[in-house]
Amino acid sequence: MCLGKTLQQRTICWLEKFVNHPTEGNARHADRTILAYQGGGECRSENMRTLWVARHFDVTAAQSAERRRRRAGARKLLKVIRGTRRVVRWTLVLR
């Protein structure tokens, strides 16, 4: 498999795989321009692009990291909001 290497190494690996074992799906993958979780869940042609397999791996990894970062920020914000609500609730009870 051609994972866990630099982009250049993965590209060479995929190229060798494509030349030596030409099967459908070895060269290009379809990818969404607007991600499904951002509202691009429909598979219309306007929302699709083709990417070289090695590049698709990198794009997907970057998008996953961005989504993890956003979700972590949302969790922190939710904890702050919940903590603020508890403080307000206790203040109202004590009055």
Question: Taking the complete model, does pTM exceed 0.85, yes or no?
Answer: no
pLDDT digits (tens, 9 = 90+) for 34-64: 888 788 877 788 888 888 877 888 888 899 9
List own/partner pairs for 19-28 with CB under 8 A and 24 or more apart.
Answer: 26/53, 27/52, 27/53, 28/52, 28/53
CA distances from 35 to 2, 32, 48, 54, 73 (A): 24, 6, 10, 19, 19
Identify the CA nearest to 7 among candidates 66, 64, 56, 54: 54
pLDDT digits (tens, 9 = 90+) for 66-82: 999 988 988 888 888 88
- Determine the Cα angle at 9 with ends 68 and 63, to 5°: 15
Match 């379809």 to its residue by tokens: 30
